[in-house]
Amino acid sequence: MVGLTVLLVVSMGVGVFAGSADIGLGEVYRAVAGQFGIGSGVDANTAYIVVDLRLPRVVEGAVVGAGLALCGAVLQSLTGNVLADPYILGLASGASVGATAVLTLGTTVAGLAGGPAVSVAAFAGAMLALLTVFAIATTRTGALLPGRLILAGVAVAQAGAALSAIMILRADTGAADRVMRWTLGSLAGARWSTMPLLLTVVLVAAAVIVLVSRTLDAFAFGERSATSLGVNVTATRWLLYSIVSVCTAVMVAHSGIIGFVGLVVPHAARMIVGPLHVRLLPVVLLVGALLLVWADVLARTVVAHQEIPVGLVTAVIGVPAFVWLLRRRGGAA
């Protein structure tokens, strides 16, 4: 934990330093220190680039990465499926439908296409997707089988993608471009004004999930075993799915679709500290933050004078990483 924390702090410093503008590391430190009245600071243009553009996107990258990884770990434990993440269960697709509706249809209403409306619509879409997945996956006897849950999530995700595509096709060029950039994943729109909501949601979700970490351990033995251990399976499932829905909705609204973080990071963390959630969850948060911070650094620097969508970078990193993890585990779940 200490090593990962130090590495994260150093990585965030590199993230602020890296960029197309030629700003030295000393200027970065002076710009940040100047915001607290320490030292002489730097010129206004340098301070704007460091404090208002680079620093918020690095902080948002760390928070979003930690949140996505946390959601993936929780969903994998609840469903008992190693492929579960916020996207495969349809939550992100539902959030995408809500946000896309605001970004495209909302342009006809003054002020609706920006601000908190995107987050509210994304959350509503994620909750609707969640309810639809449960309605489809629940058997006639009331049981909720993990296999049916995953299949229902895939179906809802495809339906959400189709609805989003229809809205994009009917939108004007400007709105369609904004949605396209958003769906590819980007931290370029990070601003301090939106950070309190994102930080609050992820921190509260992490605190609640860590508090019920022993309950998540019980789910590893199956629903019946968890019930025999005194766990209220229904209440716990709805509590955790609701928390994951809130996190996914807010993060998707802020940064778009960023894949593989919620899928790969929990597996990597289990290789480091094992399956017990009281140790697993803090490591998942740190590794998720590290992954997205470095993915954003690559997105901004790998091609000169051009930014690659961070969602593409995480996919390029995530695919071989997941294959390597599977081979290390012998293909076992």
CA distance 333 to 331: 7
Q: Going by C-beta distance under 8 Å and a sequence separation of 6 or more, which residues neighbour residue 81? A: 146, 147, 149, 150, 333
- Distance between CA 9 and CA 11 in Å, rounded? 5
Q: Where are the alpha helices (DSSP H) in 35-171?
A: 44-47, 55-79, 91-105, 116-137, 146-170
- pLDDT recorded at residue 331: 47
Q: What six digits make up the tokens of 135?
A: 């309605």
pLDDT for residue 228: 84
CB under 8 Å to 50, separation ≥6 — which residues? 16, 23, 27, 28, 31, 32, 42
Is 0.85 topped by the overall pTM? yes
Nearest in space to 260 (alpha carbons), one of 55, 108, 87, 100? 87
What is the per-residue pLDDT for 284? 96
**DSSP element (H, E) containing 251:** helix 233-255
Q: What is the dihedral of CA 117, 310, 319, 89, to 10 degrees?
A: 0
Please name the residues in contact with 316: beta carbons below 8 A apart, sequence gap of 6 or more. Answer: none
Chain mean position to CA 307: 20
Whole-angstrom Cα distance, residue 38 to residue 51? 14
* Tokens 């019930």 belong to residue: 227
- At 81, give phi and psi (nearest 5°): -120, 125
- Which pLDDT score is estimated for 329? 62
| The two three-digit tokens of residue 36, written as one number | 């607290």
pLDDT tens, residue by residue, 106-134: 654 434 445 567 777 877 888 898 889 88
Specify which residues 138 forms β-bridges with: 144
Instruction: Report DSSP state, residue 7.
Output: H
Place of tokens 């766990």: 231
| pLDDT, greater one: 196 or 328 | 196
Q: Could you tell me the pLDDT band of residue 202, with boundaries at 50, 70 and 90? A: very high
Nearest to 194 by CA among 250, 256, 127: 250
Compute the average pLDDT of residues 299-320: 87
- Entry field: residues in the chain: 333
Q: Who has greater pLDDT, 332 or 97?
A: 97
Q: Cα torsion for 171, 118, 68, 259, to the nearest 10°?
A: 10
Most confidently predicted of 28-32, 150-154, 233-237, 264-268: 264-268
Residue identified by tokens 């990070």 is 190
- How do residues 43-62 score in pLDDT, each as one tens digit? 777 788 888 888 899 999 99
Q: Find the angle CA(258)-CA(238)-CA(84) to the nearest 5 degrees.
A: 35
pLDDT value of residue 69: 95
For residue 298, name the pLDDT band (cuts at 50, 70, 90): very high
- For residue 177, give Cα distances in angstroms to 39, 55, 100, 320: 42, 25, 11, 30
Closest among 99, 108, 104 to 185, alpha carbons compared = 99
Nearest to 118 by CA among 108, 106, 130, 129: 106
CA distance 154 to 88: 6
Give residue-wise pLDDT tens across range 86-107. 877 788 888 889 878 888 876 5
Could you give the CA distance from residue 215 to residue 202 in angstroms, rounded to a whole number? 20
How far apart are alpha carbons 183 and 246 in whole angstroms?
Answer: 18
- The per-residue pLDDT for range 229-285, each reduced to its tens digit, is 888 887 888 788 888 878 887 888 788 889 889 999 999 999 889 999 999 999 999
Residue at 238: amino acid letter: W
